[in-house]
Amino acid sequence: MATIAAGYGLSDKLDAARHDLLEEYRAVHDYPWIVGFSGGKDSTLVAQLVFEMLLDLPPSERRRQVHIVANDTLVEAPLIAHHLDAVLERMRSVIPGLRLPVTVSKTTPKQDQTFWVNLIGRGYPSPSRSFRWCTDRMKIQPTSQYIRSVVDENGQAILLLGVRRQESATRAMSVARYSNGERLNAHNTLAGCLVFRPIVEFTTEEVWQLLLQRRPPWGGSHRQLVTLYRNAQGGECPLVLDKDDAPSCGTSSSRFGCWTCTVVVKDHSMEGFVESGNAHLEPLLDFRDRLAALRANPEMRMARRRSGAVSHLADGSLIPGPFTFEARRLILVELLAVQAKVGEPLISDQEIVEIKRIWAEDAARAVPSSSSPVAVE
């Protein structure tokens, strides 16, 4: 393993990263690589270094399969979703001609576990720091399932992540916790998955310098990515595969990700998009605030949880349960109105079918009283 110290210059770090990538790719085992790709600057640099390394090899030596895996929560900020899809499609289009052993995939939540099915269908309150139900269902589970399928087929897999020590204090602690001086470290929760962090010592400035100096091997340029960051005034929500990493999704910093995120008090990234000329997205900001306000309104919440239990705080005050049927119907009506106004697909017909199926089941089990909250299993 090449030694990469934080005090080294960019040229030294780049040489060491390239050395590690090539040496690991040529290792005697043939465990496939999985590149966790969010479409942000760090994962884009990792993907670019992997592509460049493969292109430097003769086709006969490109034996190890590489998976580029992105996650779509289905409630990504529209500009981010469009950028991610465009990059993934460009990658797919050039892979055959370049004779690369690369598969490009995108994971999504199960149909019955999407954001809107849980919030509007089951009545889950919009996420908060104390009840962050979205990350596991929409991010961790879909991508973890993909990784497990690759591990099951090959015995092991190597996950390449664009994690950097300098990214945040949380990331630095995570790197320290799971690093053992070796290139590969066992994943905390995914058996058979080894984690490889090729740009861990790069600074933010160095990542941008490399991206601005070279064009992506899959064509186009990084201009749109630069524009997204400039307009969002922040960074991306990274690929999350561990609940220990969940705080990085929905922090108080200006990160772009799910436009529905009510874990943050204000969505500075969406505000940045609106202020930079995307005024048609302003209704999304208003609707996100609306979801937070409905969550805080006790009249819009049931007294009982979906299990039928009633919970109280230590002082005896009630901990409200799911959204009421009235609130759920209201949210769906308003969401469809916002969808028509912004001209972006926000909820699918399949999700609406699933929502109405859950409503029917909940109504059939409801307490037969119009004057009391409805309790459902």
Coil vs helix vs strand at 127? coil
pLDDT in tens, 280-320: 999 999 999 999 999 999 999 998 778 777 777 777 677 78
Over residues 257-282, the mean pLDDT reads 92
**pLDDT recorded at residue 204:** 93
Structure tokens at 110: 């199960």
**pLDDT recorded at residue 237:** 61
**pLDDT recorded at residue 72:** 97
Structure tokens at 199: 């740009």
pLDDT-derived band at 375 (thresholds 50, 70, 90) equals very low
CA dihedral 68, 74, 79, 85 (to 10 degrees): 30
- Which residue has better confidence, 304 or 271? 271
**pLDDT recorded at residue 234:** 57
Amino acid letter, 293: A
Q: Indicate the DSSP class of residue 68.
A: E
Average pLDDT, the chain: 88
**pLDDT recorded at residue 231:** 87
pLDDT more than 70, % of the chain:
84
**pLDDT recorded at residue 7:** 59
CB 21, CB 200: distance < 8 Å: no
Q: Which residues pair with 71 in a beta bridge?
A: 107
- Which residue has better confidence, 177 or 334? 334
pLDDT-derived band at 246 (thresholds 50, 70, 90) equals low
Query: Is a pLDDT exceeding 80 seen at residue 170?
Result: no
For residue 207, which of 183, 226, 221, 230 has the smallest C-alpha distance? 226
Distance between CA atoms of residues 4 and 288, nearest Å: 42
Question: pTM (2 decimals)?
Answer: 0.86
Structure tokens at 306: 């979906």
**Per-residue 3-state assignment (H helix, E strand, C coil) for 328-373:** HHHHHHHHHHHHHHHCCCCCCHHHHHHHHHHHHHHHHCCCCCCCCC
Coil vs helix vs strand at 160? strand
> Count of residues for the chain?
377
CA distances in angstroms from 277 to 79, 177, 282, listed in the order given: 12, 42, 10
**pLDDT recorded at residue 40:** 93
pLDDT-derived band at 165 (thresholds 50, 70, 90) equals confident
Over residues 182-193, the mean pLDDT reads 93
Q: Is 276 exposed, middle or buried (0-12, 13-18, 19+ CB in 10 A)?
A: middle
Over residues 321-330, the mean pLDDT reads 96
CA 158 to chain centre: 19
* Domain architecture of the chain: domains with CATH: 10-123+134-250 (3.40.50.620)
Over residues 141-166, the mean pLDDT reads 95
pLDDT in tens, 255-266: 568 999 999 888
For residue 194, which of 185, 203, 183 has the smallest C-alpha distance? 185
